[in-house]
């Protein structure tokens, strides 16, 4: 199969990757950087591999403007492992954490943290099917919490914070799995940022953690060695064998983003793509976006017709035209177009064009 036979893939994750990244990986497959071997066959202790991981880290630091007092860790276990790793490491004094619950992932993170300490849910939008980001009164924030947790972009419900809680000395922790590198962020606002790679970075199997140094080294004596951030921080993410291929692809994606002009340029493109699609939904008589306007995600665009049978027909008819994976999450139904960094604007244009035709033919 050649690249021009590819479908337009709106999958929420694992998801579309830049064609240029995969073409480079294909060229490197049997002989990476003149080493005479595939990156998969390289010792992680070799000079060739050290260069790959060091370059990936530096490019990520450049892209996100990560200060020197933050460590960049390449971990495994997926974002779901972070739901446990975060409390294991950050419950260090009061063993209390504040949470805002904006969807399935925040709920899972909260219930995992509860195994290790006290979880205080400041606000939840669950009663309204997570169609907005709730804003708790800052007076209710716990002054003595060990951390404050939010899911910056809610992949399933298509919401995103357009503000950040002012938590003072309490470290703000966020799951950025589905929006990392899609927009400029001020890393210094956070104590810890984590992200599974399979949405906007590379293949499943790598999980990024960007952690302020003072938050490292507080895990209790019962914390497994592999789950102590200090272990990987002290060993350059190489206490054991890291997910070498995934880190290599992540590195290629970081280069791709740099060549594109960095996160400011990427954010502009993402805003343009999302605005077009939301406008098409809002202007249509058939489709509707359940998310309040001010909290809409740039990455995951959720919409419905209001008729489940028609939703299913839309997803099936779109697939027949090469517009695939437009079904909503199995827990919510409807439609979801994930338009991550690698989704070209022409892919969004084709979806909008298809929506217009579908509306005409099924009115
Ligand atoms: C996909 C996703 C997860 C789960 O990631 P895994 O790597 O499969 O554990 C968690 N949080 C968010 C926001 C996600 O989008």
Specify the pLDDT at position 274: 98
Ligand 1, atom 7: closest residue by C-alpha: 78
How far does residue 359's CA lie from ligand 1's centre (Å)? 33
φ, ψ of residue 302 to 5 degrees: the values are -100, 135
* Whether the CB of 112 sits within 6 Å of ligand 1: no
- Angle (nearest 5°) at CA 300 between 294 and 303: 80
Ligand 1 pocket test target in 11, 105, 108, 193 with most atoms within 8 Å of CB: 105
* Whether the CB of 305 sits within 6 Å of ligand 1: no
User: Which ligand 1 atom is the nearest neighbour of the CA of 80?
Assistant: 9
How far does residue 177's CA lie from ligand 1's centre (Å)? 6
* Whether the CB of 13 sits within 6 Å of ligand 1: yes
Specify the pLDDT at position 332: 84
The pLDDT of 309-320, averaged and rounded, is 97
Q: Average model confidence (pLDDT) for the chain? A: 97
How far does residue 232's CA lie from ligand 1's centre (Å)? 21
* Whether the CB of 15 sits within 6 Å of ligand 1: no
pTM: 0.97
Using alpha carbons, select from 6, 10, 7, 79 the residue that is nearest to residue 329.
10
Q: How far is CA 234 from CA 135, 161, 274, in A?
A: 38, 33, 40
How far does residue 12's CA lie from ligand 1's centre (Å)? 10
d(CA 138, CA 303): 32
* Interval 158-171: pLDDT, tens: 999 999 999 999 99
CB-based contact 73:233 (threshold 8 Å): yes
Specify the pLDDT at position 136: 98
Ligand 1 pocket test target in 149, 151, 178 with most atoms within 8 Å of CB: 178
**Percent of the chain clearing pLDDT 70 (strictly above):** 99
Give residue 363's pLDDT band: very low, low, confident or very high (50, 70, 90): confident
* Interval 332-362: pLDDT, tens: 889 999 999 999 999 999 999 999 999 999 9
Q: Please identify every residue annotated as catalytic.
A: 105, 175, 199
Give residue 4's pLDDT band: very low, low, confident or very high (50, 70, 90): low
Give residue 61's pLDDT band: very low, low, confident or very high (50, 70, 90): very high
Q: How far is CA 285 from CA 96, 187, 203, 227, 305, in A?
A: 47, 41, 38, 50, 9
* Interval 264-288: pLDDT, tens: 999 999 999 999 999 999 999 999 9
d(CA 330, CA 309): 15
Q: Before 222, cis peptide (omega within 30)?
A: no
Ligand 1, atom 2: closest residue by C-alpha: 177
Residue 230, class by beta-carbon neighbours within 10 Å (0-12 exposed, 13-18 middle, 19+ buried)?
middle
Q: Cβ atoms within 10 A of the Cβ of 40, count?
A: 10
CB-based contact 175:105 (threshold 8 Å): yes
* Whether the CB of 246 sits within 6 Å of ligand 1: no
């Amino acid at each position: 199969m050649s690249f021009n036979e590819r479908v337009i893939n709106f999958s929420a994750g694992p998801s579309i990757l830049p064609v240029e990244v995969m073409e480079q990986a294909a060229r490197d497959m049997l002989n990476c950087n003149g080493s005479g071997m595939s990156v998969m066959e390289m010792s992680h202790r070799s000079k060739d591999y050290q260069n790959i991981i060091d370059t990936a880290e530096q490019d990520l630091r450049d892209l996100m403007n990560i200060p020197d007092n933050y460590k960049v860790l390449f971990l495994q276990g997926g974002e779901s492992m972070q739901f446990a790793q975060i409390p294991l490491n950050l419950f260090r004094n009061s063993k209390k954490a504040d949470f805002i619950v904006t969807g399935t992932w925040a709920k899972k993170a909260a219930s995992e943290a509860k195994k290790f300490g006290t979880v205080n849910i400041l606000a939840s939008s669950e009663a309204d099917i997570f169609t907005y980001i709730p804003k708790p009164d800052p007076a209710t924030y716990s002054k003595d919490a060990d951390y404050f947790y939010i899911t910056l972009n809610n992949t399933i419900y298509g919401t995103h914070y357009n503000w950040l809680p002012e938590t003072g000395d309490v470290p703000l922790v966020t799951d950025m799995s589905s929006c990392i590198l899609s927009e400029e962020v001020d890393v210094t606002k956070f104590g810890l940022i984590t992200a599974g790679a399979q949405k906007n970075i590379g293949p499943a199997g790598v999980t990024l953690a960007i952690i302020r140094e003072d938050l490292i080294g507080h895990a209790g004596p019962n914390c497994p060695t592999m789950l102590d951030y200090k272990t990987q921080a002290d060993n350059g993410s190489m206490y054991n064998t890291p997910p070498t291929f995934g880190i290599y692809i992540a590195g290629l994606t970081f280069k791709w983003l740099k060549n594109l002009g960095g996160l400011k340029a990427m954010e502009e493109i993402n805003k343009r793509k999302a605005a077009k699609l939301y406008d098409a939904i809002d202007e249509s008589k058939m489709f509707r976006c359940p998310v309040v306007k001010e909290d809409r995600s740039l990455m995951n665009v959720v919409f419905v017709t209001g008729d489940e049978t028609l939703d299913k027909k839309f997803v099936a008819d779109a697939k027949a035209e090469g517009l695939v994976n437009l079904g909503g999450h199995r827990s919510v139904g409807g439609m979801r177009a994930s338009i991550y960094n690698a989704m070209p604007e022409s892919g969004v244009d084709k979806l909008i064009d298809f929506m217009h035709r579908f509306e005409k033919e099924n009115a």
